[in-house]
Structure 1
Amino acid sequence: MLFQNRYNQLDSKLYTSQSPKPLHGAKAGHFNVALADELQWSTDEKALWVEICSGQHPLSDCSALAMVYAGHQFGHWAGQLGDGRGLLLAQVLNKKNQVIDLHLKGAGLTPYSRGGDGRAVLRSVIREYLAGHALNSLGVPSSNAVGFTSSQQGVQRETLEPGAMLLRTSDCHIRFGHFEWINQYAPELLGDFAMQCIAWHYPECLEDPQPILSFARAVVKRTAKMIADWQAVGFAHGVMNTDNLNITGSTLDFGPFGFLERFKPDWINNHSDHQGRYCYQNQPRMAHWNLSILLNNLMPLAPHTEKESFKQHMIACLADFEVTFLQHYQEKMCFKMGLPQFHKESFECTLHFLQILQREKLDYTQSFIRLQEGHFNALKDDCIDRDGFDAFMQRYQSIRIHQDQAQLNDSMQQHNPRYILRNHMAQQAIERAEHDDFSEVTRLFALLATPFTHQPAQERASDLQPPHIDATEIAISCSS
């Protein structure tokens, strides 16, 4: 690996240096060879992947650290938080010369563990490993992982579960909550920290006469695009606290996430989200709220003589969220529908289709595949309101009739995945892995690597099927 450690050059108030605490009896789980290649792992490093991914093999010239940050959780100020079970192990250069974080989860207690045990269980590690891989394969900016290990050491949650570690990668682990912590506990660091974030992640903003405002605009736009990507593929994060969104607009911190199956926009996938704050349909609004917190924490950087104009510019930055989100979301959905973006009725027709999916409780992913493949009768057969479906089809075909059909169909092929990580798929992999059988993780990893390609030899019928229409909705616990 080519190390490019830089976070440890910041003020020491922002982190605590410490080494990982390995679990007893580490065992191989799964290794992402392609990602290791992208991160320029040597042959020797690949041979030691189990030791590296379980914290047993220290990386040369690297001092691991736990970041401190704060945040709002479920809309309420939660005070100081931080890496309570993970360590920034190192930062390395990938083949594109980009700096990538290596973050080891389940690495033991830190000063920010807040009564936790600093560990991760196999169940949550497998879910995050497959989810990051799935989103990256879908083209959605996200953390990823080089590999994970299981162990012989139990970790107590509701029951005693196998302990595990995950070596996560991300372009950035700097969260909105970093700025909240600095403003609350070390305000003297705010200016230098913000400018360093800009230099690392938005260097083009340094050319602007007002780099802080340029930075704010860029973070708003990237976040808006990420949320639009989530909505288009049917991904629900489940816990969009300010400490779980980073400044580069890439998905971070998989807890009680889920992919939509039967289309229910108000589906709550987080067992702890009693009011549905972070349900699928609320994600754009929650991202806007979180961004307002971030931008408010940049306000102290306003020039002394320009505070009011700086505030108005920040308000304008935040207003860009809705414009960017809608533009990107409408574009994605038109691609999925095979409709031309320029047509004035394309997006309304898209909403018409979503209304049918919601009313008829149809599967989100497979309904788009049926539309893509022209299986209109199969879609209609699943509808109670068949006349309503006919009305949609008449509208849909009238928009497409004079367009370049081949081009529209090609866009559908590129934007409609056949395979998503359904909850029951992940659960089957977890249950086998808890008996030291990682074959289902391997199968799903291969399946989700090319989600837009039909893989009859790899898929199972259950991979394409949503829960029974009368099944109890699944909500995932935050316990990890």
Structure 2
Amino acid sequence: MIAFDNSFARLPDRMFTRQAPTPVTQPRMLAHNDALAHQLGIDPAWLASPEAAQVLAGNAIPDGAEPLAQLYAGHQFGNWNPQLGDGRAILLGEVVGTDGQRRDVQLKGAGPTPYSRSGDGRAWLGPVLREYLVSEAMAAMGIPTTRALAAVATGESVIRETRLPGAVLTRIAASHIRVGSFQVHAARQDTDALRALADHVIARHYPDADGIPGLLDAVVAAQARLIARWMGVGFIHGVMNTDNMAISGETIDYGPCAFMDAYDPQKVFSSIDRQGRYAYANQPGIALWNLAQFATALIPLMPDQDAAIADFTTRINHFPDLYQAAWLHVFGAKIGLTDPQPDDADLIQRLLTLMAQNGADFTQTFASLATSDLQDRFADREAFASWTADWHRRRSSDHAAIMAGANPQIIPRNHRVEQMIAAAVDGDMAPFDALLDAVTAPYAPLDAARADLAAPPTSAEIVTATFCGT
């Protein structure tokens, strides 16, 4: 079973609605994460049992759970929405793992809540398996992220453009508190709720923070590190709304996310991002914009609000320097630099420019840089040869080892994810299992099977758009 130890449920009731999941007809376990179960103090044998399928589908409320749907607001594509909230997710409660860390246990796709906005509160199989696989791949690459504990089929259909099989994802997070969680109380001028939430977040995530200014500094720094890590693996979140930015600094809400194949800094996959607001290269700037909204929501907690506006503006404006330092560390390692210096940014950017000009595959280029002659992949062979000569002079003596730990050999390629989902809809989970095994060992050498899964798409396999699945 799950040993719950809840804290969010003790906060003021206006931060959430107590809400049980809606039962389903035929819950069946599709995938379960035994390693994560161990970390959470959950018996993997129980996780594989029919009883667990009942609990994680929402049919049975386990002892100690206090199911609820969280309230939040947010800016969606820059437009303010005063009330959002968990429209298809139920927080069962929290566990303290064997590592001493507190984490949320949430059922995503567990039925309607008061925040569903006329939605059915359900999820179909495709987005559930996509989030399971991509979040576990991100964790394996060392990128802060929510995790997937289980995926359960519901035995029921979900209507989107067509009839699709339903599923529920059990998502694990340091917490599900978002920028929008603060925005909703600031907008309602509910200073008491705002302060209670801030105190909770400081105690839970940033116990060394010095009050509200320290909380802001900590969240700014965490997001700078996170976005740099995204950029380093060619990850495009797709919906960087303020309600999709976790205060903990974890990646959350894998909707229309994707990894780039050919490098293009303006690449967009999300079908709803028609203006390119959340394109790959725009992600650092959007993170800064979101953090400014977070800072604005904290202003009512300060005794001198005019002084706080000036102070918080200064603190927010530290983000570009923090991000640039984190980016240099990430990309410096990708080209084998032990101690990258500010001047190395030009060397890195020259390579990225050449990659963009030649449509070079992002992952393969970096993964092959230390072991292969890539010159034939670049139309301007002379420019690449010049860059290579400069790189050879600059790279560290142990560059191969540094790069092996910084450059994944395999990512969840979009076409492979789509193929996996299509097979699962037809009842075949083998492609999911094979792809999950591959992407959760991202730095391991490529054997024949892994090399096939790691390969870029053919022209006929290229995925041009991804979808939220809601």
Q: TM-score, normalised by structure 2?
A: 0.96
Name the counterpart of 1:371.
Answer: 369
Name the counterpart of 1:256.
Answer: 256
Question: Residues of 2 paired with 1:180 and 1:92: CA distance?
Answer: 26
Question: Is 2:32 the counterpart of 1:31?
Answer: yes
Name the counterpart of 2:208.
Answer: 204
Kindly provide the amino acid, as one letter, of the partner of residue 349 in structure 2.
L
Q: After TM superposition, give the deviation of residue 347 of structure 1 in Å.
A: 2.1
Are the counterparts in 2 of residues 179 and 294 from structure 1 also a CA contact under 8 Å?
A: yes
Name the counterpart of 2:327.
Answer: 329
Question: Residue 95 and residue 300 in structure 1: after superposition, are their counterparts in 2 closer, same or farther (change >3 A)?
Answer: same
Question: Residue 310 and residue 67 in structure 1: after superposition, are their counterparts in 2 closer, same or farther (change >3 A)?
Answer: same
Name the counterpart of 2:455.
Answer: 464
Deviations for 1:251-271, whole angstroms, at most 9, x for unmatched residues?
001100001110011111110
Deviates more, 1:239-248 or 1:23-32: 23-32
Q: After TM superposition, give the deviation of residue 43 of structure 1 in Å.
A: 5.5
Name the counterpart of 1:54.
Answer: 57
Q: After TM superposition, give the deviation of residue 398 of structure 1 in Å.
A: 2.0
Name the counterpart of 1:272.
Answer: 272
Of residues 369, 374, 393 in structure 1, which corresponds to 2:388? 393
Q: Which runs of 4+ in 1 moved over 6 A?
A: none
In the alignment of these two chains, the number of paired residues is 466
Matches within 5 A, 1:119-268: 119-185=122-188, 186-205=190-209, 208=210, 211-268=211-268
Of residues 416, 421, 430 in structure 2, which corresponds to 1:430? 421
Kindly provide the amino acid, as one letter, of the partner of residue 38 in structure 1.
Q
Q: After TM superposition, give the deviation of residue 67 of structure 1 in Å.
A: 0.5
Question: Residues of 2 paired with 1:78 and 1:434: CA distance?
Answer: 34
Deviations for 1:69-100, whole angstroms, at most 9, x for unmatched residues?
10000001012000000000110011111110
Deviates more, 1:97-106 or 1:439-448: 439-448
Question: Helix, strand or coil for the counterpart of 1:92?
Answer: strand
Name the counterpart of 1:314.
Answer: 312
Question: Helix, strand or coil for the counterpart of 1:198?
Answer: helix
Deviations for 1:319-340, whole angstroms, at most 9, x for unmatched residues?
1111111001101101000124
Of residues 372, 375, 378 in structure 2, which corresponds to 1:380? 375
Question: Residue 477 and residue 342 in structure 1: after superposition, are their counterparts in 2 closer, same or farther (change >3 A)?
Answer: closer
Kindly provide the amino acid, as one letter, of the partner of residue 346 in structure 2.
E
Deviations for 1:143-198, whole angstroms, at most 9, x for unmatched residues?
01101012321100011110110000000100000111111233432222211221
Question: Residues of 2 paired with 1:435 and 1:276: CA distance?
Answer: 34
Kindly provide the amino acid, as one letter, of the partner of residue 198 in structure 1.
I
Deviations for 1:265-295, whole angstroms, at most 9, x for unmatched residues?
1111110111000011100000000000010
Question: Residues of 2 paired with 1:331 and 1:77: CA distance?
Answer: 35
Q: After TM superposition, give the deviation of residue 309 of structure 1 in Å.
A: 2.8
Of residues 440, 443, 446 in structure 2, which corresponds to 1:449? 440
Name the counterpart of 2:9.
Answer: 8
Question: Residues of 1 paired with 2:37 and 2:305: CA distance?
Answer: 47
Question: Residues of 2 paired with 1:169 and 1:395: CA distance?
Answer: 44
Name the counterpart of 2:114.
Answer: 111
Question: Is 2:362 the counterpart of 1:361?
Answer: no
Deviations for 1:9-43, whole angstroms, at most 9, x for unmatched residues?
01111111121112222222111111111111135
* Unaligned segments of structure 2, at least 5 residues: none
Are the counterparts in 1 of residues 38 and 44 from structure 2 also a CA contact under 8 Å?
A: no
Question: Residues of 1 paired with 2:429 and 2:364: CA distance?
Answer: 27
Question: Helix, strand or coil for the counterpart of 1:165?
Answer: strand
Q: After TM superposition, give the deviation of residue 63 of structure 1 in Å.
A: 1.7
Question: Residues of 1 paired with 2:403 and 2:345: CA distance?
Answer: 15
Q: After TM superposition, give the deviation of residue 439 of structure 1 in Å.
A: 1.0
Are the counterparts in 2 of residues 416 and 452 from structure 1 also a CA contact under 8 Å?
A: yes
Q: After TM superposition, give the deviation of residue 345 of structure 1 in Å.
A: 4.0
Of residues 60, 83, 88 in structure 2, which corresponds to 1:85? 88
Question: Residues of 2 paired with 1:315 and 1:204: CA distance?
Answer: 22
Are the counterparts in 2 of residues 236 and 257 from structure 1 also a CA contact under 8 Å?
A: yes
The CA RMSD measured in Å over matched residues stands at: 1.6
Are the counterparts in 2 of residues 238 and 269 from structure 1 also a CA contact under 8 Å?
A: yes
Q: After TM superposition, give the deviation of residue 467 of structure 1 in Å.
A: 4.2
Question: Helix, strand or coil for the counterpart of 2:383?
Answer: helix
Are the counterparts in 1 of residues 15 and 193 from structure 2 also a CA contact under 8 Å?
A: no
Q: After TM superposition, give the deviation of residue 312 of structure 1 in Å.
A: 2.1
Question: Helix, strand or coil for the counterpart of 2:405?
Answer: helix
Question: Residue 152 and residue 344 in structure 1: after superposition, are their counterparts in 2 closer, same or farther (change >3 A)?
Answer: closer
Kindly provide the amino acid, as one letter, of the partner of residue 28 in structure 2.
K
Q: After TM superposition, give the deviation of residue 343 of structure 1 in Å.
A: 4.7
